[in-house]
Structure 1
Amino acid sequence: MPMIIHAKVIALLCFLSAASSLQALDSLNVRLQYYASINRPTEEMTLASLASSLQSKTTTKLEAAEIAFYWITEHISYDFEGEQFAKERVDLQEVLRTQRGNFQTFSQFYQELCRLMGVECYLITGYVNHWHAEDYPEYYYDGAMKDHPDHPYHAWNMVKIDNVYYGVDISLGSGAVGGDEVTAEFVKKIDLEQVLVKDGVFFRIHLPADPRWQMREYPIQLQPFLKRIPYQDVLKVSAGAKPFDYEYALREFENASPAAQRLMSLQSTYEFNPSDFNMRQIADAYYNMGYTQSSGDFDTQRLLAARKSYEHAIDAYRKIESTPTVQQLMGQAQQGITYIAYRLETKQ
């Protein structure tokens, strides 16, 4: 008898989701959500095995992108203690083990699941202003601006399927924070306006730190975006800027290696919002590239590239406030250059 009931439940779920949204998420795909919910984390589970299991329940890349969203919202809890934006990528297998994460973790986890299922997905960092979610009465607008941040404070994803880009915000799409500072809790409630959308309110409240992901001929600037002014006024201010060929910028980005993509994003992020924090990100990225490129078997071209990376890192560190840590990193980069010179000279 239980087997018959289970079969009927599945049949009902399939019926309810027969009109699942292929134009983004007009409605919840209960079939995919059901399979995501029963695919519980285990000690043996890896990201690869999870992706394979989820993909087996889908027939299209859009469904794969959708079921990945459902799985994260069902099984990864919001970690209030880990809200700080990390500079580097986190250990996603550890996230799977602990089943806890924050907005950045969600986005990285989602990107990796999509990649393993063959879905083109990008991690976007930037800024959010919920003030632009609605059209308020005129007397609500006072022109006040939030504190000007020195770095991106939010992360989400862009999925590309059949040359169409869809926005996905796991944290905003899965619920909201309820209570106060003492009793804060994450209240789960799916918001379809944040999941696999091509237009609408999603693109009004999100501002990518890398202007190419705005996909606008006239990119919005950070300062007017953060103000409490009508969204149309934000667009008017930006219309006076220099035209931007975002289609070329996206092609250039998508054709680059992952390491090059990271540098391109960091450089664009700094140009969009010049700050010591964002320049430090660039410096650290170059330093890490130099360290990686200088390791391994002898290869002249790779070692020359490593030396160039270390030189870029030192130049970037010099542009920010000098601290003991920065001075130490500059010294280590110089030591890396000396080590490379030794390897090139001795051919080993």
Structure 2
Amino acid sequence: MNRLMFISHSEVIKKQQIIFGVFDLILHSIFNNLMRFLAITLFLSILQPVYALEKLNLKLYNYAKACPENSAKNLNSLVDYLYKGGNNQTQRVELFCYWIAENIAYDTEAYESGKKTDTDKILSYKKGVCQNYAELLQKMCNAVRIECHLISGYSKGYSYFKNKPFPDTDHSWNIVKVDGKYLFIDATWSSGYVEKVSGSLTFFKKLKIKEIFADPNYFLTTHLPGDPRWQLRDNPITLKSFSNNDSIKEMLKFTISKYTYLDSLKTYLVADSIDQKIISLRSTYNFNPVSSHLKSLADTYFNKAWKISHDAKEAKDYESAIDWYNQTINLYSKLNNSHGVKWIGNAKKNINYCNSKIKALKEIQRTN
């Protein structure tokens, strides 16, 4: 991964002052005072957005950096401290991101070994992989009731090779809804980068502000959600187009037609947690029908069926569970491997259990 570029607040101000000065000299010779004032105001309004995504809020950053060690020992006290430093949802999420960037290192050993890291222990370990970064940010947002979604998808990061097919999703990030807007955040990439040093993968801490509240067109050139609804556009980019192209303009030549992301998002948001997972996994599998996605979908169907049967009180509940188990068997049969065979057997056993409960309930009704 290349070294990350960062423009400080002071550098932005210095650049603005130089450009402003040149512009001001020209205006002196052309406009009267009133016209000069109006022109400068217009110029500054145009200039500011150019640097908006590169601008570090020093006040918020220093506040996050000054977090007392005692406050960072558990999630609640950490979030409580950071929450007080912001005036709105946007600032509070920005504070969360600054603290993560300053305090959490990328776990290169876990990345190379494939070992899973427990996000609940990340405040003690002070390191993790992308899943942990994204889960930590989500937990921080959830603690203060800020809508935050964990997104699994495809990325053009350290292990990316152009035109090489993605065998599976390989990265995690977040989408937050702050002050009425959905915004993209990669808490991992905003914290630094990795490089091979003397044959060893090494993490270098360096804030990359562009990954916090990222411009969608910039972000989608390197991040593609596994579930296309999280591209937040009515013309989602295809996986092949993402893999083969570098610019958003080229990617948009190949998109999914007849797609309305607002409708798909509404369906997702009104569902409960397990149905949200099913909806997203079904969409992820349809977007890229590989066996790993099918396995995840089938496992989640099984969990749904088990929950219905476990909570069942009436015959209709057991009948609903049987329907979900039959759908589960259909999915597992497509896997055509030992995992599928094992869980088809478990599903059939549970169907027999449900049928026995239905029979018992009917017998009780008959005798009463």
Q: Per the alignment, in what secondary structure is the counterpart of residue 244 of structure 1?
A: coil
Task: Tell me what 1:244 maps to.
Answer: 259
CA distance in 2, matches of 1:223, 1:85: 28
CA distance in 2, matches of 1:50, 1:292: 34
Q: How many residues align?
A: 310
Task: Tell me what 1:205 maps to.
Answer: 222
Q: CA deviation at 1:322?
A: 1.7
CA distance in 2, matches of 1:310, 1:338: 11
Q: Give the 3 Å change call, closer, same or farther, for CA 54–184 of structure 1 in structure 2.
A: same
Higher normalized helix content (fraction of residues): 2
Q: CA deviation at 1:281?
A: 0.8
* Aligned 1:72-91 pairs, distance under 5 A: 72-83=100-111, 91=118
Identical pairs, percent: 28
Q: Which runs of 5+ in 2 are unaligned?
A: 1-48
Task: Tell me what 1:106 maps to.
Answer: 133
Could you tell me which amino acid in structure 1 is paired with residue 270 of structure 2?
Answer: N
Q: Does 1:275 align with 2:275?
A: no
Could you tell me which amino acid in structure 2 is paired with residue 94 of structure 1?
Answer: K
CA distance in 1, matches of 2:215, 2:72: 36
CA distance in 2, matches of 1:231, 1:186: 29
Q: CA deviation at 1:218?
A: 1.8
Q: Does 1:124 align with 2:168?
A: no
Q: Per the alignment, in what secondary structure is the counterpart of residue 33 of structure 1?
A: helix
Q: CA deviation at 1:216?
A: 2.2
TM-score by length of 1: 0.79
Q: Give the 3 Å change call, closer, same or farther, for CA 58–328 of structure 1 in structure 2.
A: same
Task: Tell me what 1:4 maps to.
Answer: none
CA distance in 2, matches of 1:264, 1:177: 34
Q: 1:310-336: CA deviations, max 9, x gaps?
A: 32222111111322x321122122222
Q: Give the 3 Å change call, closer, same or farther, for CA 229–42 of structure 1 in structure 2.
A: closer
Contact 2:157 2:222 in 1 (8 A): yes
Q: Give the 3 Å change call, closer, same or farther, for CA 161–299 of structure 1 in structure 2.
A: farther
Q: Does 1:340 align with 2:354?
A: yes
Per mean C-alpha deviation after superposition, the further-off stretch among 150-159 and 96-105 is 96-105
Contact 1:85 1:153 in 2 (8 A): no
Q: Does 1:295 align with 2:323?
A: no
Could you tell me which amino acid in structure 1 is paired with residue 145 of structure 2?
Answer: G
TM-score by length of 2: 0.75
Per mean C-alpha deviation after superposition, the further-off stretch among 303-312 and 241-250 is 303-312
Contact 2:217 2:248 in 1 (8 A): no
CA distance in 1, matches of 2:110, 2:56: 29
CA distance in 2, matches of 1:42, 1:306: 48
Q: CA deviation at 1:302?
A: 4.9
Q: Give the 3 Å change call, closer, same or farther, for CA 97–309 of structure 1 in structure 2.
A: farther
CA distance in 1, matches of 2:315, 2:85: 48
Which protein has the larger Cα radius of gyration, Structure 1 or Structure 2? 2
CA distance in 2, matches of 1:44, 1:346: 54
Q: 1:156-206: CA deviations, max 9, x gaps?
A: 111112331110001111110023473221111111111012434113221
CA distance in 2, matches of 1:171, 1:192: 11
Task: Tell me what 1:147 maps to.
Answer: 164
CA distance in 1, matches of 2:340, 2:70: 42
Q: CA deviation at 1:27?
A: 2.0
Q: Does 1:60 align with 2:74?
A: no
* Aligned 1:144-183 pairs, distance under 5 A: 145-180=162-197, 182-183=199-200
Task: Tell me what 1:307 maps to.
Answer: 322
Q: Does 1:29 align with 2:57?
A: yes
Q: Which runs of 5+ in 1 are unaligned?
A: 1-20, 132-143
Q: CA deviation at 1:44?
A: 9.1
Q: Give the 3 Å change call, closer, same or farther, for CA 66–330 of structure 1 in structure 2.
A: same
Q: Give the 3 Å change call, closer, same or farther, for CA 300–116 of structure 1 in structure 2.
A: farther
